Structure 1
Amino acid sequence: MGAIEIANGENEKPKLNKYALGCAIVASLINSIFGYDTGVLSGANLFIKEDLKLNDTQIQVLAGTLNLAALVGSAMSGRTSDMIGRRKTIVLASLIFMVGAILMGYSPNFIVLMVGRCIAGVGVGFSLMIAPVYSTEISSSTHRGALSSLPELCISIGILLGYISNVAFSKLPLKLGWRLMMGVAAIPSIALAFGILQMPESPRWLVMQGRLKDAEDVLFLVCDSEQEAISRFRDLKAAVGIPEDSKEEVVIPPKKTASGAGVWKELFVRPTPTVRRIMLAAWGIHFFQHLTGIEGVVLYSPRIFKKAGIESKQKLLLATVGVGITKTIFILIATFKLDKFGRRRLMLTSVSGVTTALLVLACTLTVVHFSTKPLLWALCVSIISTYTYVAFFSIGLSTVTWVYTSEIFPLRLRAQGASVGVAINRAVTATIAMTFISIYKALTIGGAFFMFAGFSALAGVFFYFFMPETKGMALEEIELLFTPGGSKAKQQKTEEVGV
């Protein structure tokens, strides 16, 4: 019977469960608000600088504050989601975003603007962890890549909407335009907080709380067949340590399992060899993702295009919209292809393309820097290489990072392990955001992108050696990939099932 099921699984991929898709979409929308806050600042900072009479250092601090504050949110998010649940954590993130957006839209001065940006940053820390974790835990193994990449797609859509908002509100009076750009995000935050309450809780979190009947009910909603629901339910109980033959609707799990207590010790004090390998892979990917320079492109693309030769503010903003469109299109492509091509292949393709595009952009901007007259060809090559860079970043580094790190941690470590990854991610992002202008003034803008190209090459080496493929594997089996001799054990288990 097992052999027949495996044969059928190889010939026909199960259809995507529409209810699971709907849940993942709603959960992922929280990240579109973060994307909007990131994208809108790229154009808004031109007007904020003029209205509030800020210097470049203050603009860098404003850009990086969101990510520094996200460190606080990410530090709190893992334990919070283990205690109150994935769904309520998303609601909390929405409310935090709402307060931050209202303050930024009101901003009579730089201090209030910074406070609003900091509050929104805390929401970022929560949303970046919880959206992919919830989407991963609600998904089946055959479509987990697509559903858990939706948060990144929503970030990209949010960034694009931020760019469009820049163009739409740029014609308004100076004091009103940028405030509307920053404050309008409060509206979807309120709507999302209510919408999320209609979603079910993560079945994996419910099992951690011992709410077996509730978990089973959710699994029957998000699975395509009774057999799949039963199989996932059995694996979840085994992961938490609940006896397989338990028939109780509610059991009392170990206190540490229910609340997430003791996870920090398991991660940092007494990690097993398997957990160490998982941490290296998950946190290393987060570390390298933004060292490739994406924050410099997303936040400061108007400055890049200005250096290349575009002078008009409207043309700068329109060229930046192209960055958002490119990012969204290629993340959408990655969402549909992630479960077909796999995480590893897309990541290695992505980092190769990113490195090449960065080298071309760096060479072109260096020529422009030393030229005494405008160079039309250099302007065209700069725009094309920037869009190419964004396209390659989007198909792998952008999407795979969040999918991969939300699926490789064991259930008991997932939320808090992912939250550490978010903290690392935001720390690197804040560093790039707050130093990019200073770096390109010191090295020239071409030199800055040569530096990012070098980091991208190092990232490719890391991904090649420390990132095993997880495509199509059940969450409860992925741990074997990082266990010494685990790949052989996984293969033996598959052969025994086939027999």
Structure 2
Amino acid sequence: MSTGNNPFKLLDDISMRSFHLKYMLVAAMGTFTDGYDLSTLGVVLPYVLMSYGISSLKSPAGVFWSIWLNALPVFGFFMGAPLFGYLSKLGRKTFYGWDALLMAVGAALQPFMPNLILLGAARFIMGIGLGADYVLSPTIIAEVSNARDRGKLLALGFGGFWNFGAAAAAITVLIMLIAGFNPGLIWRVALGIGAVWPAGVVYLRRRFPETPRYSAIIARNLEEFRRFVMAILGTHHNIQEGTLSHEEIEEIMLFRKYLKYIALGALLWLIFDIPAYGLNFFVSYIAQSIKMTPVYLQLLGTAFTLPGIALAWLLLDRWGRRNAQGYGFLLTGLTFLIFSYFVYTYSRSPNAAALLFLPTIISFGLAKTWMQMGPGSVVAVGAHGVEFSPTKIRGIGQAINVIGGRTGVLITTFVFPTLFVASSYTAYIFLGLVSVIGAVLTFTLIPETKGLGLEEISLKLSGDS
């Protein structure tokens, strides 16, 4: 298939329209839920542990359950992502809504669990739904987006709404603190509210039409494709014989052709999630080191993501994915490395908390900004997974990317608390070096995809253009 007779060219070349935003907003509620729940636990973790008889985050039991309550949703991703990545071959719309239902059920069970083991089980169920959503939602947004705005729609729908969910979490907890709620009630209400967002979009997701690329390439339902084009453009459009030949080779051959790019996306998502979740999961540890209430540090970090969201919206489809991500990784790494110097210099001082207060605030905030400007709006929103994978294998390609990212989350979940308790400045050096590695890989290996339709990207990566 040449770009000259690309049947999706009409959809690629249109300007952003209201239906693009509707798709993005309905898809974004899954990521909003992810940001809300994972950030909520980071803020209320001391209250959760106190309710089950654990008084210190740094005690062996505190470290153990801090790790496992964060890790179990991630293990759910390892089930949900590949399962729904495979099922997406049977229809993007067919299973859209089931992911949100699993999220809602898992979140709703959390407040009622009588022990930490069952609380972890509820979070595992929620993680299955989140894993499914991380495959289906970016795939659907990418397959209906126009070429010129696909980057910003993915960035806002995932990177942006993750942080809006984190802000909602901090605000919810802050309101209850101000109102004088007891700690046991605060964490139960805060985690339980996480069921509201996904439950609210189950019906909407079931009503969305199938994506035009799935209809034409996988289902071979050209009438459904024509109806989609008619509904959007108001014109009839027929697909000529032979224009889809690029997608007609066997799936195993497509995997062999594109595996290096799919694997590169997965590796970069792994690299990003190590520092990103080091900050998100363990905000309570960081806040305690400067004698600050975790909810205030969480709100501050969320505020610093707003400039990053704005920069991503402005730059991704102009400056390009590679530049935004590469410089975002680099600036994040430098921020962590500089901050590690302050921690090393002042951590042994009798008034270390006071001396480190301002450097911690500035470094925590700037790291959030640079992350969101770059990798948090590219690889972490699934852009590499959905853009580097042809339509026939896009679900599985995205699932591999999601698993890569969640592997990074597991690494930071198990490594960061141990490093932080043993030597906090070493923990920040670790996060900084990982970020710099991400910058090097991005600048040297990532192909630029701005302004290209998905089929044009596939041709470019295959060398057949």
TM-score, length-normalised on structure 2?
0.89
Q: Which residue of 2 aligns with 1:426?
A: 406
Identity %: 19
Q: Which residue of 2 aligns with 1:107?
A: 113
CA deviation string 1:262-299 (max 9, x = no partner): 74x447xxx53x323322332222222123x1111111
Pick closer, same or farther for the CA change 1:26–1:233 going to 2, 3 Å.
Answer: farther
* CA positional deviation for 1:231: 8.8
Q: Which has the larger radius of gyration?
A: 1
Q: Distance in 1 between matches of 2:243 and 2:183?
A: 55
Q: Distance in 2 between matches of 1:48 and 1:221?
A: 49
Pick closer, same or farther for the CA change 1:231–1:398 going to 2, 3 Å.
Answer: farther
- TM alignment of 1:14-53, pairs within 5 A: 15-53=15-53
* CA positional deviation for 1:453: 1.1
Pick closer, same or farther for the CA change 1:235–1:195 going to 2, 3 Å.
Answer: farther
* 8 Å CA contact 1:105, 1:184 repeated in 2: no
- TM alignment of 1:89-128, pairs within 5 A: 89-128=95-134
Q: Which residue of 2 aligns with 1:204?
A: 213
Q: Which has the higher mean CA deviation after the structures are superposed, 213-222 or 153-162? A: 213-222
TM-score, length-normalised on structure 1?
0.83
* CA positional deviation for 1:230: 4.2
* CA positional deviation for 1:87: 2.5
- TM alignment of 1:87-486, pairs within 5 A: 87-149=93-155, 150-170=157-177, 171-207=180-216, 208-222=218-232, 226=235, 230=237, 237-241=244-248, 263=251, 265-266=252-253, 271-272=255-256, 274-291=257-274, 293-307=275-289, 309-311=290-292, 313=293, 316-374=294-352, 376-401=354-379, 402-442=382-422, 444-483=423-462, 486=463
Q: Which has the higher mean CA deviation after the structures are superposed, 168-177 or 42-51? A: 168-177
Pick closer, same or farther for the CA change 1:219–1:27 going to 2, 3 Å.
Answer: farther
CA deviation string 1:299-340 (max 9, x = no partner): 112321321x224x3xx3112211122224422431343111
* CA positional deviation for 1:234: 8.3
Pick closer, same or farther for the CA change 1:190–1:232 going to 2, 3 Å.
Answer: farther
Q: Which has the higher mean CA deviation after the structures are superposed, 176-185 or 324-333? A: 324-333
* CA positional deviation for 1:222: 4.2
Pick closer, same or farther for the CA change 1:278–1:111 going to 2, 3 Å.
Answer: same
Pick closer, same or farther for the CA change 1:231–1:165 going to 2, 3 Å.
Answer: farther
Q: Distance in 1 between matches of 2:237 and 2:66?
A: 54
CA deviation string 1:215-263 (max 9, x = no partner): 222234445x85xx8499989744444xxxxxxxxxxxxxxx9xxxx74
* CA positional deviation for 1:86: 1.8
Count of aligned pairs between the two proteins: 441
Q: Which residue of 2 aligns with 1:250?
A: none
Structure 1 counterpart of 2:72, from 62, 65, 68: 65
* 8 Å CA contact 1:30, 1:90 repeated in 2: no
Q: Which amino acid aligns with 1:384?
A: I
CA RMSD of aligned residues (A): 2.3
Structure 2 gaps, min length 5: 1-8, 55-61
* CA positional deviation for 1:152: 2.2
* CA positional deviation for 1:62: 0.7
* CA positional deviation for 1:127: 1.1
Pick closer, same or farther for the CA change 1:144–1:51 going to 2, 3 Å.
Answer: same
Pick closer, same or farther for the CA change 1:382–1:89 going to 2, 3 Å.
Answer: same
Q: Distance in 1 between matches of 2:456 and 2:194?
A: 40
CA deviation string 1:318-364 (max 9, x = no partner): 12211122224422431343111110110111011111111122112
Q: Which amino acid aligns with 2:322?
A: R
* CA positional deviation for 1:94: 0.7
Q: Distance in 1 between matches of 2:260 and 2:406?
A: 22
Q: Distance in 2 between matches of 1:177 and 1:449?
A: 31
* CA positional deviation for 1:185: 1.5
